[in-house]
Structure formats: structure tokens, C-alpha cells
Amino acid sequence: MAKKKKLESTAPVPMTRGQLSRAQREQQQVRNLYTAGIALAAVLLLLLAFAVISTFIIRPNQEVASVNGTKISRATYNKLRNWSLYQQIQQEAFNQQIQQQGGTTGVTNDTLTTLMQQLKNVDSESLLDQQTVQTLVDSEVLRQKSQAELQINPTADDLKALAYKDFLPQPTPPPSSETPTVEAVLTPTAIVTSTLGITPTATLTPTATATPTRGSPTLTPTPTATLPPVPGAQQTAEAVYTGYIAAIKNGPDPRADNICSYGCPGLSESDYLNVIIEPRVRKDQVTEKLAATGIVTEVEQIHAQHILTDTKEGALKIRQMLDNGADFTQLAVDMSSDTSAKQNGGDVGWFPREGSSLVKEFVEGAFATETGKYSQPVYSQFGYHIIKVLERDPKRPLTQEEIDAAKTKLYDDWFLKAKAASTITPVFAQQQPTPTTPPLVEPTPPPAETPTPGAGEATPGASTLATDTTGTQTGTATGVTPTTAPATERNTPVGTPAP
């Protein structure tokens, strides 16, 4: 009889205690690895989310300053900072190009490279640029006060009109065989500083600059003929503007075009109009509204001539010669240290009491002198003047330059009061920008003496050294050199393609 085959058990063989402990440890290690991986991934996701939120939400909305409770955000700061650096880059590139064309050797690109790197790092700046914050504060003061006090609210069409104006092609004057009295030099307008809420832009176009001779009392530019507008100028301006806006949307990486060859500010059209153009439009509209009721175009003016000397003794000697019958014009030609007297006999033309571009002491001394008489020595930063009043007109029309200077002063006075009445943080934003050039060091006037006036002569003018009524020192000459009123700005953005 065959033996039955023994059935084998299929039940798992129980592990020993050592085997069981080792398996549990391995499973726990696997679970730990999974847990650690998930935790690490979660941390990385959180860090990435925080970086995104910080970059695109928290940081752009950080407050860099405030005006009467209205916050100025970091995003707005970045836009203006980008624009300012872009302008400085274009300015530096232009300067280097001029130096190279002039034969200057050894021109380096260190400054240009530094500015380009700063443009790339604006978002990560930890120390804010004070000038940029100052400009933003001024613009916000201008916006608030122009709305509240003068009901000024520029429209989109107003902004576009000024933007187009910057791109209008300028008419070319016909060639002339005459020798010009002013020299055309390439003088770009820098954007390093900005005051009273205005953000100027650099103009890389030739500017006619009059160079006064030493001691010249007036700058008399050659009259410029009004040239006919360029045909199709408006259409050209709009087309060039459209191309310019399309280009400056690009970021700081250099591109192969004449606008962004060193990088661009990354501004949209809305950014450009609202941050760059709107403050200029508001200033223009405020100025015109204030001038409509605050400018008198006909004021008392006098026509005078002067003789300038370096010392009081020299001035008294000239007075003695005049008392003895010497001709005033001839003495000005022969003895005045104002070199322009050789051509004009010391004639400084007509000027008003208020708003004159001549230094304050000269104006006061002139108005204190009777018509047809000459003054005692009048001291100014340029020396000692003997002033003769030739004519006096109680209602003489102001020149356009004098009207423009009066408008500028009217606006400046209004803005300074508006800013003083505003609550501004940070504190440094309430201060005026640090000047980029040292102020004129004025000489100390000698002790005041009371001269004995001659028969029929007027009392001399005040000898206290001061600036003119616009608050600007005149400084390159040794005569009664006025500070000429600034010409109408044509703030053409740099890098503008040729129409």
C-alpha cells in the first residue's frame, strides 16, 4: 500500500525577534525619509511663495514716504529711480561720445558700467536714493495742492499733448554767412536734481549758449527769427513717441537699438505719462493760472548805464572826474573794468525794480538815483558801480524773459508755501536737495560808510550783498551780470530715434 504524501504548511514562517526588529527599523527609516522629503519640499514651497509675495506684493507696496497721509510706494519709487538712472546712463554715454569726438584719449566706461549695474539692481536697493524720494514727495505735494487750491486736474489729452511736444522735430535755420555772436555747444540738461515737483529729462541737442565777457552787465543774445514749423511735425512726433514708448518698456539688459543700447527703464506708457509727464503738466498749468491774476506786465522801469571799478577809491576818483565835467560814456569806455563797456559805453538797458535779473544792490542803487544824475559808489559782489539813470518810464512793458522770470518766481513762492503746509515723512524729504555744485562764495563787503553826496546827487544804493529777486546768484562775471531767465524747456527724452 503506497504511503500518503505529507502535506506542507503554507503559513508564513514566523520571524525571529531579531529579524522583526530589523524590518521595523527599515520601514521606519523609509517613512522618515518620505516625511523629511515632504517637509523639505513644503519649506521650499513656502520660501518660494514668500519670495514671490515679497517681490510682487509686500516690497512694491512698502511706504517710502507720505504726504498728508498719502503713501508713496516702493513701486512708484522704482519707476522713477529706473527712469533717473536711464537718463544718467544716456547722459554719460553722450558725454563720452563728445569727448571721443573731441580727440580726448583715455576715456573710460567705469561710470557708465556702474550706472548700468545700478539700473539692474533697483529692485534690490536697500538704501533709497534721497533725490528720487525728494522728487516723488514734491510731485505729490504738487498734485494734492494743485487739486485742492486751484482745481487743476490734467486730462489724458493734456499729458499726451506735452509728451508729443517733446518729440516735435525742430526747424533748421537757413545757412547764414554772418558770424554768430553765440556759440552752439552741445550742452545736455542733466537729470541729477529736481526741484518743486518737476522731473526734468536730459536733452541731447545743441543749445545756443551766450558766453559773457568779464564784467558784462547784460547778456544780449542775438534775436532769433521765428522759423516755420516742419511740415507734418505733429504726425512725426506721434510716430516717434509711439516707437519710444514701445522701446522703454524693455528692461535693463542692453538691446541693439539707439534707445536701449545701454538698457531701458522698463516703463509702460501709463508709467511714463503719470510719473514723468504729469508733474510737468501740473507745473505749467499752475504757473499759468497763478500768472493770470498775479503778473503785472507793465511796471516802472529805468534805463541806466554804469562804470565799474574794483576799489572804492577808484570809484570816488571817477565821480570826481564826472563832477569836473567828464563825459560818462567816455569814462565807461576808458576806465570801466566791465569789458563790455568798450562796445556799449556801460549801458545796461531797461530793467524793473522787482524781478530784475541784475544784482539787488545795483537795482536799489539805480532806483535811488534821480533821472539824469549819477550815484555815489554802489557796492556789489562785482565791485563798485557809478550808476547814471538815463530814462525812467512808470509803465513800461516787461520783456518776455522778464515775464517768464516773474512767472517762475510766482510758482516757486506758491510751491514753497504749499510744501511748508504739508505733513511729510520721512523728514529729509521736507528738505531741498543737496546742490550738486558749491554755492558762490560771496566776498565780505567793506564797512558801510556814509559818503557825502554831491550837489543834486542821489543817495547811494544799499551795499548789503544779496542775490537778485529770483534768489539766484550771478557769478561768472565781475560786472552786473544778470541771471538770464531759463529758456523754454524742450525736455526731449534721450535716445529718441531720428524722425
Q: What is the pLDDT of residues 41-91, one digit of tens each?
A: 888 777 776 665 555 565 677 999 999 999 999 999 999 999 999 999 999
Please tell me the pTM assigned to this model.
0.63
E-only strand ranges, 241-346:
298-309
Query: By C-alpha distance, which of 477, 443, 494, 420 is closest to 89?
Result: 494
pLDDT 10s digits, 368-414:
999 999 999 999 999 999 999 999 999 999 888 889 988 999 999 99
- Report the amino acid identity of residue 49: A
CA pair distance 94, 107, nearest whole angstrom: 12
Question: How crowded is residue 244: how many other Cβ atoms within 10 Å of its Cβ?
Answer: 20
**473 membership: H or E segment, kind and range:** none
What distances in angstroms separate CA 382 from CA 220, 310, 375, 387, one per listed residue? 19, 8, 17, 14
Question: How crowded is residue 284: how many other Cβ atoms within 10 Å of its Cβ?
Answer: 18
CA pair distance 248, 427, nearest whole angstrom: 33
- pLDDT of 14: 64
- pLDDT of 257: 87
**Mean pLDDT of residues grouped by 10 in the chain (499 residues)?**
56 61 76 84 74 59 92 95 96 88 68 94 92 96 97 96 93 61 36 38 36 41 62 93 96 92 96 97 96 88 96 95 95 93 93 87 96 96 96 92 90 96 80 44 42 41 35 39 38 52
CA pair distance 477, 357, nearest whole angstrom: 14
Give me 50's grid cell.
Answer: 514668500
Query: By C-alpha distance, which of 260, 7, 64, 280 is closest to 166?
Result: 280
56-88 b/e with 16+ CB inside 10 Å = b? eeeeeeeebbbbeeeebbbebbbbbbbbbbbbb
**What is the torsional sign of CA 323, 328, 330, 336?**
positive
